[in-house]
Amino acid sequence: MLEVLTERAVTPDAVVGSSLGAVNAAGLAAGCHPAQLREFWQWLLAEVMASPVRTLAKGLSARQSRKQVEMVRERVAGMLPERFDQLAIPLRLVATDLETGDAVLLDSGDLVQAVMASCALPGLLPPVDVDGAHLIDGGLVAGMPLWAVPDETRTVIVLDTGHAAMSVDAVAAYRWWEVAALSYAHQIREQAVNALLVAAAKTPVVMVSTDYGRMLDVADPLGCVQAGRDAAERQLAAVPNRLRRGVYNLPPGLAEYAPLAALTVNPGHRPP
Q: Which residues are catalytic?
A: 19, 137
Contact yes or no for 146/92 (Cβ under 8 A): no
Give the list of residues 6+ apart from residue 207 with CB closer than 8 angstroms, or none: 158, 160, 164, 235, 247, 248, 249, 250, 251
Q: Where are the alpha helices (H) located in the chain, listed in sequence order?
A: 2-7, 21-30, 34-47, 52-59, 62-79, 111-118, 139-142, 176-200, 221-237, 252-255, 258-261
CB 251 within 8 A of CB 164: yes
CA–CA distances in Å: residue 272 to residues 31, 178, 205, 242, 269: 37, 46, 18, 10, 9
Helix (H) or strand (E) holding 60: none
Tell me how far CA of residue 238 lies from CA of 51, 232, 244, in angstroms.
37, 10, 14
Output the DSSP codes for 39-53. HHHHHHHHHTSS-HH
Q: Is 186 helix (H, G, I), strand (E, B) or coil?
A: helix
**Going by C-beta distance under 8 Å and a sequence separation of 6 or more, which residues neighbour residue 31?**
88, 89
